[in-house]
Structure 1
Amino acid sequence: MSDDLDHRTHAYRPDLADIRLRDRVAADRYSEGMPAEVIVPVADVRPKPDARCSLDTQALHGEAVSVFDISDGWAWVQLSADGYVGYVREEAIGQGAGPATHVVSVPRSFVYPGADLRFPHLKVLSMGSRVRVTGEAETRATPYALLEDGSAVIAAHLRPLGEVSAEDAVSVAARFLDTPYLWGGRSGFGIDCSGLVQLALAMTGKSAPRDSDQQAAGLGRAIDPGSDGLQRGDLVFWKGHVGFLEDPDTLLHASGGTMYVTREPLQAAIDRIAKLYGLPTIYRRP
């Protein structure tokens, strides 16, 4: 039995493991996991059931998870979209009434108690959040999508699931300019470098691993800047960091230097980052 599987994407502990790992890891018992979904705007995912732990990633409203254990107010889950494993607060997950129909396609959008933007909003959802639209309404010429609980979202802020955005991933990422940097963040309220890459690609119908080392290992294909050249949409990786190229000379990334999503000349970024983390380790084309 192995104990060297990546804990980020394999659900196993000494007392409990995903049943799909029965032949690969030893555990006291195995479980198929219970299907659930995120019912809060953003659920923080941590490596331990401890609010003092730093974030590993985040799950967005309406995203599906498998729940392997609930104890002391924490749920041990695996995210369906990218397989990430971790602990979320128990109140962040629940049972949905049916499959989501639409995804939020703008960086942030308000949810109102009814079809009127003058109502006090109930919550704010990030791009990538999933909702179930059950009807439509119009107030003062503004169309709204009605959700299953009677609340409403601006209809233009949603698109049907499965409908790929016409924008390329770089255009999506650029909509997050000036969004605060947040380690482990994956939403329009705060985002890190690999979260920006993952979310932007997801909105164009492409899946990507969560962390920068996972993306560097297998997202798209490796390229040689000398022989292949660089182009818009290419990814530049450093140890622990990644960013999009807007063009061969401009980097767009969630920067721990500025602490927000920023653009800067690629060579200036290379020179600045080299002082702390060295030169780029690989370039990839998704």
Structure 2
Amino acid sequence: MQYGICNLGIVPMRFEPSDKSELVSQVLYGEFFKVLERRKKWSRIRIAYDKYEGWIDNKQYKEITEEDYNDNVISSPILSTDLLEYVSDENENIYTIPLGATLNGLHILNHKFDGNKIQKVLKKSNLIKTAFLYLNSPYLWGGKTPFGIDCSGFTQMVYRINGHKLKRDASQQASQGEALSFIEESEPGDLAFFDNVDGDIIHVGIIMEDNYIIHAHGKVRIDRLDHSGIYNVDTNLHTHKLRVIKKII
């Protein structure tokens, strides 16, 4: 088994080993992963944090030892908390990194970082404050950053920055936590999940106070939430059908 660390700010993870293939997620700076299969130009990896799998370009990561992988995977993650920051190498070359980048591997990459960071579990009440950092970020299928993010990437990163673990996809996240019977039972920070006509979970958002929800749809935006689903405040139409509300923490 081979192991790696992302040494660039934002690396695309694709469904197939091709630059033309669908973006399924992103690997952010400092994330650790196992290399499941290595080809001439591409590697299929499994991210340590959420076990998500996909293909990344061999030129866009650094191989590390099994010891370095194991030592850092078991440790509490240190995350960058600024929208945009940078790390620098021994030659003072600068690498930009996004909100939520992992800093545990700085010593492995021989990089320096002087920005704001966090390494603790925060209260549930802080989730909405973090969510607002992503407000108006454009929607991007597979995205995980303020420069482009999808609905489940948004919820995962908000929870992650606050020290709480969510899986990657909305359907996976819906398997976590405790189901609530009514919106009135929910608290700010709980998750609302939405399904399609086939009953598949296809969307997720973070519940706010007074029946509002913040979610990634076109952009990270705030809309109304009622028993039917999400009511778009711009179009005055329901856009998503409510399936279940989950209390994760």
Q: Percent identity?
A: 23
1:225 aligns with 2:182: yes
Quote the residue 2:192 is aligned against: 236
Quote the residue 2:99 is aligned against: 127
Quote the residue 1:250 is aligned against: 212
Judged with a 3 Å threshold, the aligned counterparts in structure 2 of structure 1 residues 242 and 278 are, in CA distance, closer, same or farther, namely closer
Return 267-276 or 100-109, whichever deviates more: 267-276
Judged with a 3 Å threshold, the aligned counterparts in structure 2 of structure 1 residues 245 and 43 are, in CA distance, closer, same or farther, namely same
1:45 aligns with 2:4: no
SS at match of 1:51: coil
The 1-side partners of 2:132 and 2:143 are apart by 16
1:69 aligns with 2:37: yes
The 1-side partners of 2:55 and 2:238 are apart by 31
**Higher gyration radius (CA):** 1
The 2-side partners of 1:199 and 1:263 are apart by 17
SS at match of 1:130: coil
Quote the residue 2:225 is aligned against: 266
1:93 aligns with 2:67: no
**Structure 1 unmatched runs, 5+:** 1-32, 135-146
> Contact 1:238–1:277 at 8 Å: present in 2 too?
no
The 1-side partners of 2:156 and 2:211 are apart by 22
Deviations 1:36-62 (A, max 9, x none): 111111121111111112211111111
> Contact 1:222–1:284 at 8 Å: present in 2 too?
yes
Q: CA deviation at 1:269?
A: 6.3
The 1-side partners of 2:236 and 2:160 are apart by 30
- Count matched residues: 227
> Contact 1:192–1:254 at 8 Å: present in 2 too?
yes
> Contact 1:251–1:269 at 8 Å: present in 2 too?
no
Return 270-279 or 244-253, whichever deviates more: 270-279
Aligned partner of 2:113 among 124, 129, 153: 153
SS at match of 1:78: strand
Quote the residue 2:198 is aligned against: none
Aligned partner of 1:279 among 225, 241, 245: 241
Query: What amino acid maps onto 1:125 in structure 2?
Result: I
Judged with a 3 Å threshold, the aligned counterparts in structure 2 of structure 1 residues 93 and 113 are, in CA distance, closer, same or farther, namely closer
SS at match of 2:230: helix
The 2-side partners of 1:254 and 1:107 are apart by 17
Quote the residue 1:195 is aligned against: 153
Query: What amino acid maps onto 2:186 in structure 1?
Result: L
Q: CA deviation at 1:248?
A: 3.8
> Contact 1:102–1:133 at 8 Å: present in 2 too?
no
TM-score, normalised to structure 1, is 0.70
SS at match of 2:23: coil
**Structure 2 unmatched runs, 5+:** 196-201
Query: What amino acid maps onto 1:130 in structure 2?
Result: T
Judged with a 3 Å threshold, the aligned counterparts in structure 2 of structure 1 residues 276 and 72 are, in CA distance, closer, same or farther, namely farther
TM-score, normalised to structure 2, is 0.80
SS at match of 2:159: helix
Query: What amino acid maps onto 1:102 in structure 2?
Result: I
Query: What amino acid maps onto 1:38 in structure 2?
Result: C
Give the RMSD, CA atoms, in angstroms. Answer: 2.8
Q: CA deviation at 1:96?
A: 4.5
Deviations 1:216-274 (A, max 9, x none): 1x121111116x6222112111121110012141111111xxx2111122249624599
Aligned partner of 1:105 among 70, 81, 88: 81
Higher RCO (Cα < 8 Å, 6 or more apart): 2
Judged with a 3 Å threshold, the aligned counterparts in structure 2 of structure 1 residues 188 and 154 are, in CA distance, closer, same or farther, namely farther
